Amino acid sequence: MNQPLNYRNTGFITSAPDIRHLPNDIGVEIAFAGRSNAGKSSALNRITDQKSLARTSKTPGRTQLINMFEVVHGCNLIDLPGYGFAQVPLEMKLKWQKSLGEYLQKRKCLEGLVVLMDIRHPLKDLDQQMIMWAIESDLSVLVLLTKADKFKSGARKQQLMKVRETVATFGGDVQVEAFSSLKGIGVEQVRRKLDGWFAPELERQRLFMAEDQAQADNE
């Protein structure tokens, strides 16, 4: 079994307006998607235990590019443009939508999708569309109900169960967890899920290195 990854080592790689400007389509990528006010950047910062890995802003919709972060070689986190809220010109919104759609449909190394939504307003139409698209593409999904600290424990559990029941009707591999960047709720569950997604790539690298070493020893 692989050791848990140290997400504190995560570093920024690049920002790209579309997939043509991203690095080679290899390794494993886990994408984070959500409405522009879902707390996506704050979640990435908390998961990696860094204050400013992903830029946060009081103005929703600041993330306009596809941002790539490397956890370890071959294992990357992707911060996708926020959707559905930003007060921007229609032309720009359509451009973001196009780059988001292209990434989700054409990026072969995409293995999992984290969909973030405010626990107080879950499963809006665009959130459901994102989950359904992932299911149809045989992608595993982790739904994070962010800002979970806004509810007391009982209400939080009730909302979590309600969303889990609804999502279960969609079919597919969808896990739902409560999350709070402020209080650290759900952080370890997310890291474990990411570890599971990255494990096959890390094993592939280990075997490749072992084969290389065996070849060198025989020469």
| Confidence (pLDDT) at 159 | 98
pLDDT for 85 beyond 60: no
Which helix (H) or strand (E) segment holds residue 116: the answer is: strand 110-118
Q: Residue 89: its pLDDT value, please?
A: 75
Helix (H, G, I), strand (E, B) or coil at 202: helix
Q: Is the pLDDT of residue 58 over 60?
A: no
Phi (first) and psi of residue 91, to 5 degrees: -60, -45
Q: What percent of the chain has pLDDT over 70?
A: 91
Backbone region of residue 26 per phi and psi (left: phi > 0; alpha: psi in -120 to 50; beta: other values): beta
Task: State the pTM of this model.
Answer: 0.91
Distance CA 174, CA 37 (A): 22
Question: Per-residue confidence at 59, pLDDT binned at 50, 70, 90?
Answer: low
Query: How many Cα neighbours within 13 Å face the side chain of 123?
Result: 13
pLDDT value, residue 86: 59
Considering the chain, what is the average pLDDT of its residues? 89
Q: At what angle do helices 187-218 and 40-47 cross, to 10 degrees?
A: 60
**Mean pLDDT across 66-85:** 90
More confident residue, 218 or 41: 41
Closest CA to 14 of 66, 73, 49: 66
Choose between 210 and 6: higher pLDDT.
6
Q: Between 191 and 96, whose confidence is greater? A: 191
